[in-house]
Amino acid sequence: MRGGERLTSETAFEEIQRHYQQRDLAAREWRGNGGKVVGYFCDAVPEEMILAAGLFAIRLSGDPHGKTDVARQNVIPRFTNREDFVHSILNMLLTGEYDFLDYLVIPHTRDSIHRLYQLIAMMKDSDPSLNLPELFFLDSVHTTFFSGGLYNRDRMLELKESLEEWSGKEITSEALSRAINITNENKALLKRVASLRAAEPPCISGVEALQIISSSMFMLKEEHNKLLRGFLDGADKFPVRNGIRLFVSGSPLDSLQLFEIIESCGATIVADDNCWGNRYSNVPIDTSLDPFEAIADRYHNRSPCSRMYPMSRRLEHCLQNIMEAKAQGVVFNVFRHDAAEIWEIPDKTKALEEKRIPSVYFRNQPYLITEPEPLKTSIGELIETIQRSQ
Amino acid sequence: MTSERGAAQLESANAIRAYQREWLEDTRQRVKQGEPFAICNGDEFEEVFNIMDIPVIVINYWNSIIATKRMTEYYGDVLINRGYPANYFAMGLASTIDNNPETAPWGGLPKPALIIGGTKSDTEMKVLEIWAREYGCPFFPLDFGLDAVPELPKYPPPPRWWEMMADHWDELIDPRRLDLRVEEEKALINFIEVTTGRKLSMAKLEQGLELLNEQEILWGKARDLIAETIPCPVSLRDQLAVYQAQWHRGTIRGRDFIKAYYEEVKERVEKGVAACPNEKLRLMWMAGTPPSWAKWAEEEYGAVCVASLFSSIPIDSYYRATINGDVMRALASRHMVLFLETPDWRLKDAEIHQCNGVVETANPSIPSFNKQLFEEAGMPLCQIPRDRDDEEVRAILSDFIETRLLS
Ligand code: SF4
């Protein structure tokens, strides 16, 4: 994108796609210009603080098509949760695909993620020649009580101190407020994307939305905001989509495969409750509070991730979003050994039955979908069920 | 006392076995008569219930009762029918969902006053929440339960960490996490008092924890005698049977069980009684139940399993000194970190028990946690695919004993 050029909706989207596909593009460029890069996992790490420190924040993702051979030689037996994803990430870390990371923040979230801290720390210890980033473990509780909130807040203060050390400068309240404004704007723009996607009829597909939302986690936020504004400028001309309105719930999705398969059957994924999707932009930061406290508060009380207690909150969140998006059917997708997700599905299915919303459940799914046909057949059947009931 | 086949079972072990049956029946009756009871995850709070005289069903223990009744497959199907995975940790939940007094152990558990568990794993937190909902009772989640990783301010754990666990556990546990855990446990005790009407005082808690420590020290002394005496005075079967006394820690009875055990082991050592008079080789068995091939290995090679995964847990893990007079902190510390599963700890046990070799079950596709370190330390390690006394396992063990231990 050349400077000064007015963005058309198409070029903005192409740029977004480019960053979705080449996830390291912006980070490498930043580093090439002498900046430092902080990687993180999950939507549990406050990007605002990283931004306020003048560092580049990038959420790490795996690659279902990528290799896993190097990781497999290093994984200790206790890794059984979502091992495909874990292997993929580790392989990328060990083979230099993430060699642009200066620091890596690992939050205490689902087992497959937080255990990476111990594993990577051990690897670093046993082989100092490995080019692995400096680690920070962002501890947090899995309950959402007041005392836990205080605990999390203290850990965020420690993260803030580390970021200050890494960047060599203090993170002021003003810098935090500025960063909050940028990320809040991002969330507000993404909410507009969410409403166009859930509009009747929708004019953004799930596949497009997932790229738009996820790319926010791979880019400089201001740049992403610019692209989003350019993209949304042409919203009145977006072609409308017909077809059945579906909602996708389940394991975190850092690739497009599942959405592509579902939408290739003629449906539109009007919303999701995924941390790579709508959940990322659901809850803005309260600008009426002290900026640091507001950040700590937001991350403690954000839309519930599947690793949080209580499950009832997850169920409510999922149902509310299904209803708001006027979804006609739901697809549950759970990766093999995703213990955080698997116990929730029966409750959700039951609640949907009571509301007469049909659903399909893809369980024990591989990280890389190699056999899309059975999934397509199920989606086809779901669509038919919905059509028959219309 | 010694027969051809070795020493008879320990009286102290038999007493514990018998009491455990009695305890189960007594608990069942108390619970039936409407006494408040709790369901709690193992090693996470049950000594407090013991001290408060509240019957408590420990989840892993309840699951093992279900397994003993050969109900796991049936309950697995119950879970699957509800859309859940057939997970072993969820067997208790399955028995509640099934709600069939005819087939359930104890005729099924009545409604507990509360369920307590950690948020420590993806599975545990969810299963317990669902279970409590099935009963319509509260679930009290505790953060940073046992085995949550990473527990330490620093990885990897310091070498010989087990020597720090008794008196310097504060250096092994993240103090920030411990602060919160102490707060949560205090809140939980309040909650238990409100829900059950039972009371706890510092005097009672202190007394209970002292008894607990005494119990673990006596256990450690018995372990030392077993480790240093050749031939081994106590069969692995008895060593492991005694382990049930751990569920009664914090009580006079729990302490006295292990006192009797220690005295009996000492008496055997003084009299030179051997568990297996034919002992020629000593093995460590990396599991918590006696191996099915033990008798065969003893008769064929005089190879005796003298140590297991549980040999040192009482003294290395449960015992906690109170530091700076903070009893709650010592208590919570045990609930946060019991032990760290590191190969050097297991190697130490094989060495102090004067083992010639170690046997573990292993999945050949997963790299062994222990193999490299053991072999480098000159401790031969044999991997068998499963614990079954069959031809294949015997052939692997024979080969190991003949080529690595006897040659
Ligand atoms: S759902 Fe899983 S991947 Fe997403 S934020 Fe939560 S723990 Fe992380």
8 Å CB contact between A69 and A31: no
Which of A306, A309, A318, A338 for mutating ligand 1's site (highest number of atoms within 8 Å of CB)? A306
* Nearest one of B190, B245, B237 to B219, comparing CA atoms: B245
Ligand 1 and A306: CB distance under 6 A = yes
| Percent share of chain B, pLDDT over 90 | 76
Q: How far apart are the CA of A143 and the centre of ligand 1, in A? A: 14
Cβ atoms of B13 and B258 within 8 Å: the answer is: no
User: So what's the pLDDT on residue B288?
Assistant: 92
Question: In this predicted structure, what is the pLDDT of residue A2?
Answer: 39
Confidence of residue A158 (pLDDT cuts 50, 70, 90): very high
Instruction: Give the pair of three-digit tokens for residue B271.
Output: 């009299």
Reported ipTM: the value is: 0.93
Q: In this structure, is residue B287 part of a structural domain?
A: yes
Is residue B12 in a domain? no
pLDDT of residue B109: 86
| pLDDT tens column, B175-209 | 999 999 999 999 999 999 999 999 999 999 999 99
Asked whether residue B156 falls in the same domain as residue B65, the answer is no
pLDDT computed for residue A115 by the predictor: 85
B121 and B190 share a domain?
A: no
> Chain B: nearest CA to A305, how far in angstroms?
12
In this structure, what are the phi and psi dihedrals at residue B80, rounded to the nearest 5 degrees? -60, -40
* Cα of B85 from ligand 1 centre, angstroms: 20
B169: in domain:
yes
Question: Does A257 sit in the ligand 1 pocket, CB within 6 Å?
Answer: no
The pLDDT value given to residue A372? 97
Q: What integer pLDDT is reported at residue B49 of this predicted model?
A: 95
Domain annotation covers residue B253: yes
* pLDDT at res. B24: 81
**Burial class of A240 by CB neighbour count within 10 A (0 to 12, 13 to 18, 19+):** exposed
Domain count, chain B: 2
Mean of all residue pLDDT scores within chain B: 92
| Whether residues B59 and B164 fall in one domain | no
* CA pseudo-torsion sign A292, A296, A301, A304: positive
Token look-up 């507001």 returns: A294
Contact at CB, B141 and A142, closer than 8 angstroms = yes
Interface contact B122-A110, CB threshold 8 A: yes
CATH of A26-173, one of 3.40.50.150, 3.60.10.10, 1.10.1200.10, 3.40.50.11890: 3.40.50.11890
Helix, strand, or coil here: B366? coil
Q: Do B178 and B162 lie in a common domain? A: yes
Check CB contact under 8 Å for B129 and A311: yes
The number of C-beta contacts closer than 8 angstroms across A and B is: 85
Domain boundary at B86, B118, B142, which? B142
Q: What is the mean pLDDT of chain A?
A: 94
Supply the pLDDT for residue B152: 53
Residues of chain A contacting B, Cβ within 8 Å: 73, 76-77, 81, 110-111, 114-115, 117-118, 121-122, 125, 137, 139, 141-143, 147-148, 151, 154-155, 307, 309-311, 338-340, 342-347, 349, 361
The DSSP symbol for A240 reads P
Tokens of B340: 């760290």
Please indicate, yes or no, whether residues B385 and B236 belong to a single structural domain of this protein.
yes
CB distance A109 to ligand 1 below 6 Å: yes
pLDDT for B367 equals 65
Write down which residue in B107, B142, B177 finishes a domain.
B142
Assigned token pair, A301: 């009380």
Among B142, B161, B190, where does a domain finish? B142
Q: Decide whether any atom of ligand 1 lies within 6 Å of the A42 Cβ.
A: yes
Distance from C-alpha of B242 to C-alpha of B256, rounded to nearest angstrom:
12
Q: Angle of helix B327-336 relative to helix B202-228, nearest 10 degrees? A: 50
Ligand 1 closest atom vs CA A276: 4
If asked whether residues B89 and B214 sit together in one domain, one would say: no
Instruction: Examine the domain organization and report whether B291 and B221 are in the same domain.
Output: yes
Check whether residue B385 and residue B308 sit in a common domain: yes
Q: Are B108 and B156 in a shared domain?
A: no
- Per-residue pLDDT at B4: 47
For the CA of A109, the nearest atom of ligand 1: 7
* Residues B282/B230, Cβ–Cβ less than 8 Å: yes
A22-32 average pLDDT score:
98
Residues B223 and B356 in one domain: yes
> Given a cut of 60, is residue B3 above it in pLDDT?
no
pLDDT of the residue at A78: 55
Report the amino acid identity of residue A95. T
Does residue A203 contact residue A240 with C-beta atoms inside 8 Å?
Answer: yes
Residues B254 and B398 reside in one and the same domain: yes
What is each CA distance from A164 to A106, A170, A180, A368, B318, in whole angstroms?
A: 17, 5, 17, 39, 40
Same-domain status, B164 and B241: yes
For the residues A143-151, what does the mean pLDDT come to? 94
Structural domain contains residue B129: yes
- Min Cα separation B275/chain A (Å): 35
| Chain A residue with the nearest C-alpha to that of B184 | A147
Q: Which residues from chain A sit within 8 angstroms of residue B124, using beta carbons?
A: none
Query: Does residue A88 surpass a pLDDT of 80?
Result: yes
Best residue for ligand 1 mutational test, from A307, A311, A317 (most atoms within 8 Å of Cβ) = A307
Show residues of chain A in contact with B174, CB under 8 Å: 139
| A307 CA to centre of ligand 1 in angstroms | 7
- Top-confidence range, A96-105, A120-129, B333-342: A96-105
**Domain ranges, residue B310:** 146-405
Quote the pLDDT of residue B370: 81
Q: List pLDDT tens digits, range A183-240.
A: 999 999 999 999 999 999 999 999 999 999 999 999 999 999 999 999 999 999 999 9
pLDDT interval class at B342 (50, 70, 90): confident
Tell me which of B84, B89, B155, B365 to substitute to probe the interface with A (most A C-beta atoms closer than 10 Å). B155
- pLDDT at position B67, please? 94
Quick check: is B325 in a domain?
yes
Distance B89 CA to ligand 1 centre (A): 23
- Spatial neighbors of B361 by CB under 8 A, at least 6 apart, are B286, B287, B383, B384, B385, B386, B387
- Please state whether the peptide bond connecting residue B101 to the residue before it is cis, i.e. omega within 30 degrees of 0: no
